[in-house]
A and B are shown apart, each in its own frame.
Chain A
């Protein structure tokens, strides 16, 4: 806890509203943030968190309401004005120049120069000093693109602070980094807090929100729901406020017992990715893979799907060896893969809901000359979409208009249409709200009970422990340990995946 009670609010947001065609994104939301405070903003996707932050950062303009800084009203028309007012935002999608050095990135747009010539030495030395202040072991001469995601994030924070930002907005900074990197990030945030920076933190991860925040504000459907000290609210209360309903059973019990072995992997290896992986999944079993980013977990699961294929080793389905050189081969052998990043690999964002739902099974609807039988396609897509409760106006709506959770359901729908016997899931609930998460958990349970074999990679321990029969820990491309349901223990699993 800090002493934010005694300090008058540094940033005050008063009755802020913003509408987009068809939706009210923010409805008279008020909020205040103090210096030296970490203020978390929580809510499901579409609750208005991002809209609020984008207004502060000058990306959107408010319809009505007021923003006060130090008691003075400010107008923020664009990103430049936001920076001038001391508000900096580190976006979920990092915007940097990968081909330029770290120093050039930190000083992008305000390079020390004389007569239009950049003073390279000063640039590098000043960047070095700033990085050192933050205890970052990053060489300012390195190309930005060579850094890990978490390092890039830290550089962006450094950049924001070096612009004299007094208010730092972080949008899901830990969604793509390992927990060790997250720990380091939190240390940096604590240091900034001591310097009096006001930090607004958006995250879906309960654990870290409770760990680092002073206060937590919940938004729902564009409205303010509550603000309170993190010590005075429980996890369940928070979830209840976010979803507006009880979430008693996030992970329902499965009553079924796994059957015979369906998938067996023997000594699978791929250069620079994973070495000598052997495992098996039974009918109706959910097998979890835990590991840090870069541990080879995603690479492994993608190689089973032939994207790209493994260098050596065997894959057996129902005891028979199969040869998988491409996703097409994998599909023919009863596999389906829900990839890690739905925007990069799961969906065609230019396409409609229908286009995306049926893409993997189109030949099934082909008639004379490869012409698609539209009614058949519509029926199949409509059926699976209703099964998964995809919320979309029509199937001809552009997929980009759907919320993250519904987009993810479309990816799942697409792969369930394939009717796989083995479903490979890579971070199936990343970046989606808790309501959609719970629906996807129910679905995974249902599929397992119906006899599907599921191999699932996830960064969320609670998710793995709640859904899986067994968990396999990956470390540096190898299996480091295997856990049975009876032996699930968050600390032990974390220890097994840490380098």
Chain B
């Protein structure tokens, strides 16, 4: 009985345990791993994926999926950057433009999914292509460069020794956590994802919830696009590719059910950090980036298998 309890405990917090083991292993294998600069490095590298993954958590709990986030990142990045040449506009303008573009793409996703009953996979696949195309059209395929110092500071500066993107990420985590686990809205997201019919019969406007969740995911993609373009000091229409898959991977590793109704922000954060730490660790250990992909895939698979076993 006691053994069983230990096992249950382990499988419930399995992801966290795996994360701690990973850290222990890497700190033993590489002395550079636990250095402050490296840790800050990891956090900064993960912050963009983390911001997107918070939005993706809402979408997947709603039993949806958002494949468009990578392209929306690019579209928001180029549009924000185009308003960010030095001396043109105050900083608020490119930031607002980036968030608005992301929000608009997300709203369109949510609107069509909710009102036209189109499968989220299809709608966001279409948006993925449209947004990427729009980013290329807008820039003629060339990156937007020569951005203002103030814009570049979003991704490049520090606050109390912590990189600003990390601070933004932490704020987003906090907002996401409060929204999902403390508010009526969050409860309605779980209800809609868990059983749409029961939710609708409880007086929940499931269509409205759907639109809001995709809009939120869009705004966060916009924010990610701003942070990313600012960090590399250019808005490239080719940026953000594959980010949707990293975000989905983080959410799934964090124990959120792909069929909706179950999941936490905390799990997603652990998922994001596992991917980040692993990439960083394998870099430190001079493992080729090709192999890193293989390892990442195996970890995703293990996480899902573990979750399946757990929920039975």
Residues of A within 8 A of B (CB): 21, 305, 307, 326-328, 330-331, 337, 339, 344-351, 355, 359-360, 362-363, 365-366, 369-372, 414
Which label, helix, strand, loop or mixed, suits the secondary structure of the B interface?
helix
A326-B205, A346-B201 known; 10 other A-B pairs, CB under 8 Å?
A327-B202, A330-B203, A331-B203, A345-B197, A348-B194, A350-B261, A355-B191, A359-B198, A366-B183, A370-B184
B195 lies within 8 A of A347 (CB): yes
In the complex, the chain B residue whose C-beta lies closest to that of A365 is B184
A355 lies within 8 A of B178 (CB): no
Give every chain A residue within 8 A of B114 (Cβ-Cβ): none
Distance in Å from the Cβ of B256 to the closest Cβ of chain A? 12
Give every chain A residue within 8 A of B194 (Cβ-Cβ): 348-351
Q: In this assembly, does B188 line the interface, its C-beta being within 8 Å of a C-beta of chain A?
A: yes
Per the bound structure, the CA–CA distance linking A370 and B4 in Å amounts to 40
Per the bound structure, the CA–CA distance linking A330 and B204 in Å amounts to 12
B200 lies within 8 A of A351 (CB): no
Give every chain A residue within 8 A of B185 (Cβ-Cβ): 370
Partner of B203, one of A328, A344, A351: A328
Distance in Å from the Cβ of B195 to the closest Cβ of chain A? 5
In the complex, the chain A residue whose C-beta lies closest to that of B178 is A371
Digit string of B249-262 for contact with A (CB within 8 Å is 1, else 0)? 00000000100011
Partner of A372, one of B184, B195, B203: B184
Q: A349-B195, A350-B262, A351-B191 are in contact. Are A370 and B201 (CB under 8 A)?
A: no
Q: In this assembly, does B182 line the interface, its C-beta being within 8 Å of a C-beta of chain A?
A: yes
Per the bound structure, the CA–CA distance linking A21 and B8 in Å amounts to 13
Partner of A344, one of B4, B178, B197, B261: B197
Give every chain A residue within 8 A of B200 (Cβ-Cβ): 307, 327
Distance in Å from the Cβ of A138 to the closest Cβ of chain B? 30
Per the bound structure, the CA–CA distance linking A369 and B174 in Å amounts to 14
Per the bound structure, the CA–CA distance linking A87 and B194 in Å amounts to 36
B199 lies within 8 A of A348 (CB): yes
A337 lies within 8 A of B201 (CB): yes
Give every chain B residue within 8 A of A355 (Cβ-Cβ): 187, 190-191
What are some 8 contacts across the A-B interface (CB < 8 A)?
A: A305-B201, A327-B203, A328-B203, A328-B205, A344-B198, A351-B190, A355-B187, A370-B185
Query: Would you list the 6 A-B pairs with minimal beta carbon distance, nearest first?
Result: A348-B194, A350-B261, A370-B183, A360-B202, A328-B203, A350-B194
- Interface size counted on chain B using CB atoms at 8 A: 24
Digit string of B151-189 for contact with A (CB within 8 Å is 1, else 0)? 000000000000000000000000000100011110110
Interface centre among B185, B198, B257 (most CB of A within 10 A): B198
Distance in Å from the Cβ of B182 to the closest Cβ of chain A? 5
Give every chain A residue within 8 A of B183 (Cβ-Cβ): 366, 369-372
Per the bound structure, the CA–CA distance linking A371 and B191 in Å amounts to 16
In the complex, the chain A residue whose C-beta lies closest to that of B1 is A21
Give every chain B residue within 8 A of A362 (Cβ-Cβ): 184, 187-188
Give every chain B residue within 8 A of A366 (Cβ-Cβ): 183-184
Distance in Å from the Cβ of A343 to the closest Cβ of chain B? 9
Per the bound structure, the CA–CA distance linking A363 and B204 in Å amounts to 10
Partner of B191, one of A326, A345, A359: A359
Per the bound structure, the CA–CA distance linking A371 and B201 in Å amounts to 22
B201 lies within 8 A of A339 (CB): yes
Per the bound structure, the CA–CA distance linking A365 and B201 in Å amounts to 19
Distance in Å from the Cβ of B3 to the closest Cβ of chain A? 13
Per the bound structure, the CA–CA distance linking A365 and B182 in Å amounts to 11
Give every chain A residue within 8 A of B187 (Cβ-Cβ): 355, 359, 362, 372
Give every chain A residue within 8 A of B4 (Cβ-Cβ): 21
B184 lies within 8 A of A347 (CB): no
In the complex, the chain A residue whose C-beta lies closest to that of B205 is A328
Q: A328-B203, A328-B205, A351-B191 are in contact. Are A345 and B198 (CB under 8 A)?
A: yes
Distance in Å from the Cβ of A488 to the closest Cβ of chain B? 31
Per the bound structure, the CA–CA distance linking A202 and B164 in Å amounts to 65
Per the bound structure, the CA–CA distance linking A360 and B200 in Å amounts to 10
Give every chain B residue within 8 A of A305 (Cβ-Cβ): 201
Partner of A346, one of B198, B203, B204, B261: B198
Per the bound structure, the CA–CA distance linking A24 and B266 in Å amounts to 36
Interface centre among A344, A348, A365 (most CB of B within 10 A): A348
A307 lies within 8 A of B198 (CB): no
B197 lies within 8 A of A372 (CB): no
In the complex, the chain A residue whose C-beta lies closest to that of B187 is A362
B195 lies within 8 A of A307 (CB): no
A327 lies within 8 A of B201 (CB): yes
In the complex, the chain B residue whose C-beta lies closest to that of A345 is B197
Give every chain B residue within 8 A of A371 (Cβ-Cβ): 178, 182-183
Give every chain A residue within 8 A of B184 (Cβ-Cβ): 362-363, 365-366, 370, 372
Per the bound structure, the CA–CA distance linking A4 and B4 in Å amounts to 47
